[in-house]
Amino acid sequence: MLADTALAVMWVGLTCYALFGGADFGAGVWDLLAGGSRRGLPQRRLIEHSIGPIWEANHVWLIFVIVLLWSAFSPVFAAVMSTLYLPLTLAALGIIARGAAFAFRKASTELWQQRLFGACFALSSLVTPFFLGTVAGAVASGRVPPGLAAGNVITSWLNPTSALGGVLAVTTCAHLAAVYLCADAARDGERALASAFARRAVVSGLVSGAVAGAGIAVLHADAPELFHGLTHRALPLVILSVVAGLLGLALLHRNRFVLARPASALAVAAILWAWGAGQYPAMLVGGTTVHQAASDGAVLAACLVVLAVGALLLVPSLWLLYATFQRRAPAAGPGSSSSSEASVD
Amino acid sequence: MHHLAAAPWQVAALAVDKVSEGDLAAARAQMGFSLAWHIVVACLGVGLPALTLLAEWYGIRTGNPAHQLLARRWARAMGVLFAVGAVSGTILSFEMGLLWPGLMGMFGQVIGLPFALEGIAFFIEAIFLGIYLYAWDRLPPRRHLLTGLPIVVAGVASAFFVVCANAWMNQPRGFVLREGKVVDVDPWAAMLNPASPPQTVHMILAAFMVASFLTAAVYAVALLRGRRDAYHKAGFYIPFTLGAVVTPFQLVVGDWAARFLAEFQPAKLAAIEGVFTTGSHVPLTLGGIARDDALRYGLEIPNGLSLLVGYSPSTVVQGLDKVPRDQWPAVTGVHWAFDVMVGIGLFLLALGAWLLLSWWRGRRCRGELLDQRGSRLFLTLAAIGGPASVVALESGWCVTELGRQPWIVWGIMSVRDAVNPAPGLMTGLWLVLIVYAGMTVATVYVLRRLAKGTAVPLAPQEQDVESYPVV
């Protein structure tokens, strides 16, 4: 019971990372595709403006998932990290390049620096979710056996299911970001930008759907256990994902950007939950179940209590963060940043 | 607990056969390098928010534009440093698994709790940092100042929790090893082990010292270059005063930490002080080289160590002769690191005393410190004090980590048993070195640009967004 609760909490964290962190990654992908420095300016401004205050908080979900995995399911953590250290190292380097470059770009003034840091940020926004997706594919297709580095360090993540996971991660991130950004642009009264991102949201949504559809054949051939889970126990969630995805596209088409957000988020979240439900109770397919991997009851209880108490602090804080920046800013008063800088310099 | 070292555990034993010396060295180098890098940024992340809030508070109280500008500038640096600190910290949590799955597979659950708590603290920090940096123009000044407070509290809390986990590696508690398996875990006992109080307090004070002296050093250089305006003076005095206040406490805590070692980790203390033979009337040796089971060529203070440890020359200090030879840490390195740390600590203490003395003199003859005789020497030493505090920080960290060798979990699991048996860790090391080199260059460059006062805000407020270029 405790182990299942811990797993559910971890999965909620993973969902939050996929939705919030995923949208940040996707914003980076659109930054990459925005075009030359002049043509892409409005888009990059919107992206920078939208994710600037929140990306660091969004990034913490990943740490949350990692820490909960190692606390509650240490042997699984050790097996996954040691076998998949290549894609995970590459994802980690991507995380470094992305976060640092995003902060550096904001602090630089010259065009070549902004280009360099911007390229770094955008490119790592593309590769990081890809590698994280290959990791998900490796675990889902049962290529991570229990034990230290017991799996093949190459083929565990270079295989059809991992490739599917990587591509699907990138396209869904891009889709989420486009949906979030078109609502942000619409709120700021940028109609052209809003409809441009709405178009991108539809395209990336359709691509995601196509990839997921093609994925059925891949999973059937490459990961039969997961395929069985998805077509049986997890089938309602798969259907929910499809319905939510279509609903989101319809809402985008009718310019209902704010409503499209929860629909798209539900479509992506349902895929993750379908994976979890399809695989349960195996944590390492063909090897370790949730209950075999679970930590001592005292550890699980302590972590859950701490997280529950932490949530009492975190939820209002997160609400304050998102609420502060989802409102339009008040007109600049005296003592605002640029004016006080100018007066003292 | 030492007998537990002989306990067999299947997974690690199987793995060890596959580990090559090169991969073990690469894993150690990678972990050491990324930790040494992160620790500096993390200290600034703990100390800089406090300095920024101090400046902002002064600014609001006095209406002095110099303080207000300082707060804005430091907040920008804080934003950059927090970003690189967040990512380099995330890498560390990856590396715990990528490099040391043997440790995490077996003991991950035992040390999970402090990391979960740290995660929450870090989350709070990230949330309020977002608000603090970006809502400067959206909130009234006092409420804005209030949104900065959680950053300071959560920063200190993060440091506390993370160092608790490290303290557990020095004093493993809260579990039972039965047939090579970890059972009966008590995560709270593991977290609040005997090493936690001295180690956490020592580290948190170190963070404030590094942030203070490093920031003060930047302004000391500017003052030396003749920029003696209110802005640069305040930029020097605020952090330097904080550093000078913290330093005496740090020496007391350092002494407490050393006496903790005498009781709980005598082998580490023996390596720190280069004590090879157990006995009383042990001298305190400064410098020296460990050779032929003795510390040679050092400066000896008779009875010094016995007096420090037990306040009496007849106090018995355990030497390395009580430790199996293959479990000795590298004595010369640990000993020198310790001497460097203490030496710099005393140097910073003297600088603080100088500040106090000249402040008192200045009050009597209505002069300011920077107008007094010797102010150039003082500022030069203060400029050196910034980088020196970083050296002291790294040395102290070397003492803790190298002094624990060859154990990753003191007396229970060796570093060799914890490492990832997968091949190719050397390649990972090179990749990480290249990426970190790039990040170091970029961080220093960007911070220097910020110090020079570019017009581009790090956290663009609403009305700035239109006015600055984004590629």
Q: What is the pLDDT of residue B180?
A: 80
The two three-digit tokens of residue A22, written as one number: 């995923």
Asked if A38 is an interface residue toward chain B (Cβ–Cβ < 8 A), one would say no
Residue type, A173: C
| Nearest C-alpha neighbor of B245 from the set B54, B395, B379 | B54
Of A86, A99, A106, the CB nearest to B458: A106
Asked if A322 is an interface residue toward chain B (Cβ–Cβ < 8 A), one would say no
ipTM: 0.80
Task: Calculate how close chain A gets to B225, using CA atoms only, in Å.
Answer: 18
Q: Using 50, 70 and 90 to split pLDDT, how confident is the model at B273? A: confident
In this predicted model, what pLDDT tens digit does every residue of B329-380 receive, in sequence order? 888 888 889 989 999 999 999 999 988 888 887 776 655 666 667 788 889 9
| N residues, chain A | 345
Q: What is the pLDDT of residue A98?
A: 85
Backbone angles phi, psi at B291, to 5 degrees: -150, 140
| Residues in chain A closer than 8 A to B84 (CB atoms) | 99-100, 103
- Judge whether B215 and B48 are in contact, CB under 8 Å: yes
**Residue contact A104–B459, C-beta within 8 A:** no
Q: What is the pLDDT of residue A337?
A: 38
pLDDT at B159 over 90: yes
In this predicted model, what pLDDT tens digit does every residue of B387-433 receive, in sequence order? 999 999 999 999 998 888 888 998 888 888 888 887 778 888 888 88
pLDDT at B11 over 50: no
Backbone angles phi, psi at B45, to 5 degrees: -65, -30
- Judge whether A70 and B96 are in contact, CB under 8 Å: yes
Of B89, B124, B184, the CB nearest to A317: B124
**pTM of the model as a whole:** 0.84
Q: What is the pLDDT of residue B468?
A: 40
Asked if B98 is an interface residue toward chain A (Cβ–Cβ < 8 A), one would say yes
Query: CA-nearest residue of chain A to B463?
Result: A332
| Residues in chain B closer than 8 A to A344 (CB atoms) | 65-66, 68-69, 231
Asked if B452 is an interface residue toward chain A (Cβ–Cβ < 8 A), one would say no
CA–CA gap between residue B89 and residue A238 (Å, rounded): 36
Q: What is the pLDDT of residue A162?
A: 93
Q: Using 50, 70 and 90 to split pLDDT, how confident is the model at B150? A: very high
**Residue contact A75–B460, C-beta within 8 A:** no
Q: Using 50, 70 and 90 to split pLDDT, how confident is the model at B9? A: very low
Query: CA-nearest residue of chain B to A83?
Result: B422
| Residues in chain A closer than 8 A to B133 (CB atoms) | 53
Q: Using 50, 70 and 90 to split pLDDT, how confident is the model at B464? A: very low
**Residue contact A83–B65, C-beta within 8 A:** no
Mean pLDDT along residues B49-61: 91
* Residue B292 CA: distances (Å) to CA of A25, B273, B274, B276, B332: 57, 16, 12, 10, 12
CA–CA gap between residue A78 and residue B102 (Å, rounded): 7
Q: What is the pLDDT of residue A169?
A: 94
pLDDT at B3 over 50: no
Q: What is the pLDDT of residue B454?
A: 43
CA–CA gap between residue B148 and residue B425 (Å, rounded): 41
| Share above pLDDT 90 across residues of chain B, in percent, rounded to a whole number | 30
Asked if B140 is an interface residue toward chain A (Cβ–Cβ < 8 A), one would say no
pLDDT-flagged residues of chain A (< 50): 331-345
Strand partners, A289: A282
Asked if B462 is an interface residue toward chain A (Cβ–Cβ < 8 A), one would say yes
CA–CA gap between residue A231 and residue A229 (Å, rounded): 6
CA–CA gap between residue A85 and residue B79 (Å, rounded): 30
Give the position of tokens 């640069």.
Answer: B232
Of B18, B122, B465, the CB nearest to A49: B465
* Residue A150 CA: distances (Å) to CA of B97, B108, B276, B423: 14, 18, 42, 12
In this predicted model, what pLDDT tens digit does every residue of B176-222 receive, in sequence order? 888 888 888 899 999 999 999 999 999 999 999 999 999 999 999 88
The two three-digit tokens of residue B428, written as one number: 């990972």
Q: What is the pLDDT of residue A28?
A: 85
Q: What is the pLDDT of residue B184?
A: 87
Burial of A234 (0-12, 13-18, 19+ CB in 10 A): buried
Of A109, A111, A118, the CB nearest to B454: A109
Task: Calculate how close chain A gets to B232, using CA atoms only, in Å.
Answer: 12
**Residue contact A89–B439, C-beta within 8 A:** no
pLDDT at B314 over 70: yes
Residue type, B89: G
| Residues in chain B closer than 8 A to A149 (CB atoms) | 15, 18, 101, 420-422
Q: What is the pLDDT of residue B376?
A: 85
Mean pLDDT along residues B450-462: 53
Asked if B104 is an interface residue toward chain A (Cβ–Cβ < 8 A), one would say yes
Asked if B470 is an interface residue toward chain A (Cβ–Cβ < 8 A), one would say yes
Burial of B85 (0-12, 13-18, 19+ CB in 10 A): buried
CA–CA gap between residue B462 and residue B464 (Å, rounded): 6
The overall average pLDDT reported for chain B is 84
- Three-state DSSP class for A176? helix
Asked if B20 is an interface residue toward chain A (Cβ–Cβ < 8 A), one would say no
